[in-house]
Amino acid sequence: MIKRLIVIFTTIAFAFLILFISVLRSASVRHSFSNIYADYTKEEIQRESEEIGGIEIDYYFAHPGSVLPNHPLWPVKALRDKIWLFVTTDPIKKAELNLLFADKRLGSAKILFEKDNPELGYTTLTKSQKYFEKACRIEQNSREAGLNTDELIRRLTLAALKHRQAIKQIEFLAPEDAKPKINEIENYAKTAYNEKAMLLSREGKPVPKNPFNGE
């Protein structure tokens, strides 16, 4: 009897996984970009990217891992992330988890652009910023509920700068018709930095320096 229940449960779980993967793939927004790039050599692109990446920001991304959005096991990884968020009830930890997923997806997006997959790279980039936006929103709601979010505000302020840095690198790697869309995505990181930096300033706390002020 127990053995039969295990078989039934496993079959149902497998069917649910297949259904989730099918829905995830069909719901993905697909973008199409030209293969027209700026008239730079690969060496010039690499040099410019390294120059942008050389800006010192005291924040580090977690490694995105080997399972990227173009990997067959990516839907399983995405499902794991959704379950992880679902079972996390502490608002501060949930915000930190959203920030972690935002960082990892941003790293994945950069790798995809480097490997000449701008369509999937752009989709991954947009999802990254949705996670980042969710982290900022949870911080705001938690703060308004009376929770101490000082450390989270500091991390989000630094993360906003680091996200801008990575997005600028991606923009340089992207096809010409993708650049305006990527620039729009960068605007959210700009806004997030300004909002969180203002909160730190009001509390008399150190505000991470914005290295992009001179642009």
Chain segment 145-193, per-residue pLDDT in tens: 999 999 999 999 999 999 999 999 999 899 999 999 999 999 999 999 9
Structure tokens at 168: 């600028």
Question: What pLDDT shows up at residue 56?
Answer: 86
C-alpha pair distances (Å), 48 with each of 45, 105, 116? 5, 22, 17
Q: Of all residues in the chain, what percent carry a pLDDT higher than 90?
A: 71
Structure tokens at 30: 């697909």
Which residues have a Cβ under 8 Å from the Cβ of 110 and sit 6 or more positions away? Answer: 121, 166, 169, 170, 173
State yes or no: pLDDT of 135 exceeds 90. yes
Question: What pLDDT shows up at residue 184?
Answer: 94
| Cβ atoms 193, 89 nearer than 8 A | no
Q: What's the whole-model pTM score?
A: 0.81
State yes or no: pLDDT of 105 exceeds 60. yes
| Cβ atoms 164, 193 nearer than 8 A | yes
Question: What pLDDT shows up at residue 2?
Answer: 64
CA-nearest of 74, 189, 86, 60 to 129 is 189
pLDDT digits (tens, 9 = 90+) for 2-29: 655 454 455 444 445 544 444 444 445 5
Map the chain to HEC letters.
Answer: CHHHHHHHHHHHHHHHHHHHHHHHHHHCCCCCCCCCCCCCCHHHHHHHHHHHHCCCCCCCCCCCCCCCCCCCCHHHHHHHHHHHHHHCCCHHHHHHHHHHHHHHHHHHHHHHHHCCCHHHHHHHHHHHHHHHHHHHHHHHHHHHCCCCCHHHHHHHHHHHHHHHHHHHHHHHHCCHHHHHHHHHHHHHHHHHHHHHHHHHHHCCCCCCCCCCCCC
